[in-house]
Chain A
Amino acid sequence: MDIPADIPGLYNYWIVVVLMMVGFYVVISRTNLVKKIVGLNIFQTSVFILYISMGKVKGGTAPILVDHPVTYSNPLPHVLILTAIVVGVATTALGAALIVRIKEAYGTVEEDEIQAMEPDE
């Protein structure tokens, strides 16, 4: 049986899609706030892999200045994603800090229990 060239050839991108959907689904479906933040983290991680994959050149090495010409990977997306990772860490830290405060204020981190405590106007 022939495997369509898209599946192994775009292996990284399939992983990206799967991770993105897993993360997104966790954010939507879980009521536990900690799990939501974990889902959000997975969702963001998929984007890191997307950027890193697009900068990779087949057979390329790290872009270090040497005397003889070499093929090297595009360093720009890799550098960009360092920034995005920092943003991701900050988001996760802030989300976790908010959850701690929510736990102190409500005594629970379950979204449905919190909603039950605050009847909607």
Chain B
Amino acid sequence: MIAHNLPALQVVLPLIAAPLCLLLRGSNWPWAFATLVSWAAFAISAALLSQVLDSGTISYAMGGWAPPWGIEYRVDTVNAFVLLIVSAIGAVVLPYARVSVGHEIPAERHPAFFTALLLSLTGLLGVTITGDAFNLFVFLEISSLSSYVLIALGRDRRALTASLQYLIMGTIGATFIVIGIGLLYMVTGTLNMADLAARIPAAVDSRTLLAAFAFLTVGTTLKLALFPLHSWLPNAYAYAPSVVTGFLAATATKVSVYILLRFFFTILGTKYTFERLTLEQLLIPLATVAVLVCSTVAIYQNDVKRMLAYSSVAQIGYIILGIGFVSTTGLTAAIVHLFNHAVMKGGLFLALGCVMLRVGSVRLDAFEGLGRRMPLTMFAFVLGGLSLIGVPLTVGFISKWYLVLAALEQGSWLLAIVVLVGSLLAVIYIWRVVEVAYLRPPRADAPPVTEAPISMLIPTWILIGASIYFGIDTSLTVGIAQRAAESLLGGAS
């Protein structure tokens, strides 16, 4: 019974849990409840992934209404993998949240905070699992609205303006997506993704479809913060509470990338998107600029959180570059980097959260002497940084390896060099932090600082450990990514 209804439970469980969380009182209950729910969500997504890998795509008719009339939840290799990424990050970040949130957010707001976090998790999981285009928009808005709230809870007053800016940009993006979905409905008369994919080849000459394509392109690239539509991201990540930054940086943009994959590969099809409309000619230059410009901008940041936020925009550039190659290797690189970037950036932001807890600031000069005073936190940061650079034996290397392979496959030396230059720029911005933390002595008047509590170090190290482990044993991640890439390219032609 439960096994059969897993796709529904994946979304319904956190959705029901969110309002219940609001009713809980006491200092730790909301947190404990949210943590349990996130672990259950993780168990469900792991079960779904193994089920999909064993026996292929799962189709679940919501409420027993057969698709395409009812809402279908459809789990294939691609979204089972993304579901696992999102729920795993949720399950790791929530245990970390008790101390960090206790420190950064007033106690009376804790129930509301965890409610918003669970709603955000619901939305992200819902976007990923649904097989219905309009349902995707609804979940996208659930996750976005709750993340605006989460960001606005940052202690700095600039969190408010950052949140409002994200709200405006995010709403424009989501509205563009809903216009695109509406136009698709006008052309095809259906909202079910599989049904849309079957009907679109008959309408490829329609100008309405072209308009839908344009709206979807702008909407999704705004949501995933592709250069030059990334301006909302650095401030939103820099001023949000540490837990929120860690969670959103690892999941929200990844899910937006998934929306792009779903719309362009599964629904509109590679023939239409890339052969007829040559979207890659737009994606590749923008991704290249994102990698080069945002990595450079990251070097000049004095706030380390903001620096990593710019680095995120650059990393999204790598993902889009992989997609732009429209080859199995390129897509494998993009999908495996979804996972790899989630673990390493999640780990890095969690390490920053530890610094925030103990030092009270994540500006560069706050790191003076931290290498000796918070050795475990800073060592985690260094390992995460190495992964960001793409040093062998880290996950970052695996992503870049496949990305360079994909570039060389197409005979594009220039793009392979861009990937390498991006890594060199990452060396510079990571080194700036390492230099301050390890080579500069703490100031004489600096207050004493102790290592972060174990409940925050363990989640940080789980993510950092994963970014090393999956850099050595790639059979799981690359294997799944390869199958996902093949299904995206094969199922759509």
Contacts and interface: CB of A to CB of B under 8 A. Distances in A.
Interface of A: 24, 27, 33, 36-37, 40, 43-44, 47, 50-51, 54, 76-77, 80, 83-84, 87, 90-91, 94-95, 98-99, 101-102, 105-106, 114, 118, 121
A47 B179 contact: yes
Interface string B147-161: 011001000011011
Interface in B130-176: 134, 137-138, 141, 145, 148-149, 152, 157-158, 160-161, 163-164, 167-168, 171-172, 175
A27 B160 contact: no
A114 B182 contact: no
A contacts with B: majority SS = helix
Contacts of A94: 145, 148-149, 167
A47 B157 contact: no
Given A36-B168, A43-B172, A54 B186 contact: yes
22 contacts: A36-B168, A47-B178, A47-B179, A50-B179, A54-B185, A54-B186, A83-B138, A87-B145, A91-B141, A91-B171, A94-B145, A94-B148, A95-B164, A95-B167, A98-B148, A98-B160, A99-B164, A102-B157, A106-B157, A121-B301, A121-B302, A121-B303
B367 to A, nearest CB: 16
Interface of B: 134, 137-138, 141, 145, 148-149, 152, 157-158, 160-161, 163-164, 167-168, 171-172, 175, 178-179, 182, 185-186, 191, 301-303, 306
Nearest to B151: A98
Contacts of B134: 80, 83
Contacts of B168: 27, 36-37, 40, 95
B127 to A, nearest CB: 14
Contacts of A37: 168
Contacts of A51: 182
Contacts of A54: 182, 185-186
Contacts of B171: 40, 44, 91
Contacts of A95: 164, 167-168
A91 B163 contact: no
Contact of B172 (A27, A87, A118): A27
B254 to A, nearest CB: 22
Contacts of B138: 83, 87
B182 A98 contact: no
B261 to A, nearest CB: 24
Contact of A91 (B157, B167, B185): B167
A64 B145 CA distance: 35
Contact of A114 (B161, B167, B178): B161
B167 A98 contact: yes
A90 B191 CA distance: 24
Give the 4 A-B CB pairs with smallest separation, nearest first: A105-B157, A87-B141, A98-B164, A102-B160
Contacts of B148: 94, 98
Nearest to B301: A121
Contacts of B301: 121
Contacts of B191: 76
Given A54-B185, A98-B164, A118 B158 contact: yes
B306 A121 contact: yes
Which of B134, B157, B175, B186 has the largest count of A CB atoms less than 10 A from its CB?
B175
Contacts of B172: 24, 27, 40, 43
